[in-house]
Structure 1
Amino acid sequence: MSSVDQNPVHDLESLNWDDLLSLKRSQLNQIKDLTDKIIDIEKNRFRLINENIQQEKNKLVNMTTRLAQIRTEMNSNNSQLLTISEKISKSKNFVSIMGTRLPSDNEVDLVRILESSQKLVDEKRYKNERQKNEALSVMNDASMKLEAIKAIRTVNEQLIDLNAQAEEIKKILKILENEVTTLQTKIADTHNKIDKLFVSKRQQAAEHQSCLK
C-alpha cells in the first residue's frame, strides 16, 4: 500500500485549490448520480416491475379462469356425446334386428292393399263373414308391415341426425382441446415471465442497497 493510500488527509493537503475544487465537483457528481439512481430505482424501476408483475398476474387469473370454464364445457360436451353415442348404439341395434324382419313388399303396394281392404270393409262389399275376416287380416298384415317400414325409416333419419350432432360435438371438443393446449403454453410462459420479473426486482433491490452503502 502506498503512503498516499495510508494517509488520505496528507494526500488531500498536497492538492492545490483547483484540484480540490475538481475533486469536490467529482464527488458531488458521484453523489448526484447515486441519488438519481436511488430515485430512479425507487420511483421508476420498482414501480414498472410491480406493474408488470400485476399485469402478468391478472393475465394468469384470466387464463386459469378460462381454463376452468373450458374444462366445464368439455365435461358437458363429453356427457352429451356419451348420451348421443348410447342413442346411436341403440338405434343401430334396432335397425340391425328389425332390418332382417322387414317385408319384401313395396311400401306403395302395401298402402294400396291397405286402402282397398279398408274400402271393402267400410263399404261392406264382402260376401260373407269369412271374406270380411280375410279382408281384416290383410289390412292388419299390411298395416303392421307399413309400421315396420316407417319405424326403420324414422330410426334411420334419427341416426343421420344423431351422427351429425356427434360430429358437431367432436369438432367443438377438438377446438376446446386446442384452446387448452394454447392456454397451458401461455400459462407456463406467464409463470416464467413472473419469475424473471421477481429476479429483476431482487436485482434492483440489491443495486438499491449497494447505492446506500
Structure 2
Amino acid sequence: MTTRKRILTCGDCATVNCNSRTSTFPPFCLTEAEEQREIEEVNRIYREDPLVSKISCSAAEIEGTYYGRLTRVEEVAAFARRIGAKKVGVATCVGLINETRNFIKFLDAQGVKSYTVACKVGSVDKTELGIPEEHKINKGTHESACNPVLQARILAREKTDLNVIIGLCVGHDSMFIKYSAAPVTYLVVKDRVLAHNPVGALYTSHSYYKRLAEDRKL
C-alpha cells in the first residue's frame, strides 16, 4: 500500500519569512514558487482597481494606526468611514439580535447609517427548501430556514456599501457572501459552544479539545 505524499503549503511553514524577510524561505515556499508575472499582475489590481485599492489602503491604515488598540466593533466603523460607506448592511442571526441592536446603536453614534436583515426573513419553513423534516431542531413544528440569499438581495436593494455578518451559520455565511452585492466583512463568527469564539478550540487543541486531532469523521 502506497502512502500519498502530502503537498507542503503555508500551513507547514515555521519561518513566515514572507512577513518581514528577516529569515529564510523554506524549500516549499509559495512565495518563492510563484511566478513574478503573476505577482505583478495581482499588484496591478491593488493599484488600479478603485474599489480594491480603497479597501486595501483603508484596511492597512486601520491596522497601522490602531494596532492592538481598537476592538473589532470599532474597527468595522473605522473601516466603513474610510471606504466612504454611506450605508452599512447588517446580516444577522436572530439569536444575536440583542448584540446586533447594540452594534447598530454604536454605528448611529459614529454617524454611520445601517440597515439590518435577520436570517429568518421570509419565514419560510425548512421543508419548503428541500430540507428533510428529520433535520429540523424541533421536528413536527414550523421551523424557519435561514435565508442568506434573501438577506443579500434585500441589502442589495437598499444599496448598502458594506455588509457586516453577525453570527450567520457556517454555510449560510458562504451563501450570503456569494450573493452579496457589496463587500462583506465579519463582526461575529458563530460558535454555539464557545460563545462565538471558534479559535478557542484551536487554542486548547492540546488539552480540552484534543479530539480535534483524532481521526474521526463528523
Whether these two folds match at TM > 0.5 is no
Higher percent of residues as helix: 1
Range into which the TM-score falls when normalised by the shorter chain: under 0.3
Higher percent of residues as strand: 2
Q: Which has the higher contact order (CA 8 A, sep 6+)?
A: 1
Structure with higher Rg: it is 1
TM-score (norm 1): 0.16
